[in-house]
Amino acid sequence: MTTIVIRPKNKAEENLLSRLLKKMNIDTQFVEEPVPNFESRKAIEDVELRKGTSVKDSKELFTKLGI
């Protein structure tokens, strides 16, 4: 299963993304704290090491996923 770490802009975006990505069998982790926790730091490090993909917003995420 793929995992995506997301920092949603608001609760509505969090709800939309979690429902949509769950249907696509993608696990989501939401970053809510101002300082990233261990999982968030690991995901950021993976992106920096080219093991992951960084997107700016949900529109770019949908484009990357082909939605």
Query: What residue ranges do the domains of the chain occupy?
Result: 2-65
The tens-digit pLDDT sequence of the chain (67 residues) is 566 777 788 889 888 888 888 888 887 777 777 777 787 777 777 777 777 667 777 788 788 778 7
Residues 24, 65: contact at Cβ < 8 Å?
A: yes
Q: What pLDDT score was predicted for residue 5?
A: 73
Place of tokens 């989501």: 28
* CA–CA gap between residue 6 and residue 56 (Å, rounded): 10
* Three-state SS at 47: helix
* Three-state SS at 24: coil
Q: What pLDDT score was predicted for residue 2?
A: 62
Residues 41, 64: contact at Cβ < 8 Å?
A: no
Q: What pLDDT score was predicted for residue 3?
A: 66
Q: What pLDDT score was predicted for residue 1?
A: 52
Q: What pLDDT score was predicted for residue 10?
A: 86
Residue 48 CA from chain centroid, whole number: 15
